[in-house]
Structure 1
């Protein structure tokens, strides 16, 4: 029994150390953790065993947008709400905890949904000026869809 417990602890500690030792990914020598890249702009990816990293080479230099720039450009809310201090961002379903470190490739098609919490009654009054911004990134343009009798059909597809 003792050997079983020791082996479980050993395997668990080995696995957790393996998960924490992930190699960094670099783009033009910059660490790439909170950057969203359009895969269509990538020429090559090289693994460097000596430096323990993955290096990405783009077709042309990337142009990056900040979350505040995207919000100000695509927001439908009045300019008073665009201060950026009362905004919670999600990008492709991932909650953003440090908005200043996020860079988004400008070649993406950006789709933005805003949820204003001013009419929510069950939260504290000081949180009612919060805005939740859901950003969806797509390498290709998303075609509009309509729902017909419970099914989803694209406007451009032919029904047979």
Structure 2
């Protein structure tokens, strides 16, 4: 994927749209820590950037999905990436107050320094956060199912530990 660098000066003329896509290989490299097995499918989207009162507002729409294992039954499970996201870039201040209380809107705010913004890491954050820590194929998933009539705690036949029952310890 080509870098998603935006020059601030280009936004003075008005809003700008940027299309992007992540290939299966790029997804695999960035999401390698997900539990295997998994399958990656192209993720693509479009960003709209607009300069508003000294801030850069970025709204985006993404579509695509990733296949991971259900945490309960281990079946392949489709996880959709977020469809809509938004963040705001403001110029990095020279100094920060030692204690600043954050609001909900501050979680969507990032700082930039200089005349360019790299959007790629922020988009990857949204892709990575779209994958749940405990993916489920269905909220009602009961986990691995066993054949009927099979007792889960049945004694083993021909157990390798069977011979230990015959050992007699004398003191």
TM-score by length of 1: 0.24
Higher helix share: 1
TM-score by length of 2: 0.23
Q: Which structure is richer in relative contact order (CA contacts within 8 A, separation 6 or more)?
A: 2
